[in-house]
Amino acid sequence: MDIQIHSIHFDADVKLLDFVRKKIEKLQTFYDRMTDVEVFLRLEKGDKEHSARENKAVEIKINLPGTSLFAKSHEKTFEIACDEATENLRTQLTKHKEKQQEK
């Protein structure tokens, strides 16, 4: 599985990249046929109130044979946003796997 991590409007720390990579790799336990994953770490620019609180965005796109899954989260830190997005994808992967088994 190929994991591509893009940091937009900043340079990502090695610790953050490792954290994201580990979270993505854990998703393979729920569905092992992922072909590749794209992760976008983005600093959102907005008004002063919004930018001070939840300006860290994580977008994850997982390509599977025949389809793709997507999740996005905005939070105070990239770690929290990554946790939320991967949890959402875990649910999507579980549902996708169940549908595949029914066929």
Given a contact cutoff of 8 angstroms between Cβ atoms, the answer to whether 41 and 14 are in contact is no
pLDDT higher than 90, residue 44: no
Find the domain containing 86 and state its range: 2-102
Q: CATH no. for residue 46?
A: 3.30.160.100
- Nearest CA to 77 among 91, 102, 57? 57
Total domains in the chain come to 1
Residue 96: how many CB atoms within 10 A of its CB? 19
Query: What does the block give as tokens for 59?
Result: 């977008």
pLDDT of residue 69 exceeding 80: yes
Confidence of residue 23 (pLDDT cuts 50, 70, 90): very high
pTM greater than 0.75 (yes/no): yes
- Find all residues with CB under 8 Å of 27, minimum gap 6, and list them: 34, 62, 86, 89, 90, 93
Note the pLDDT of residue 45: 78
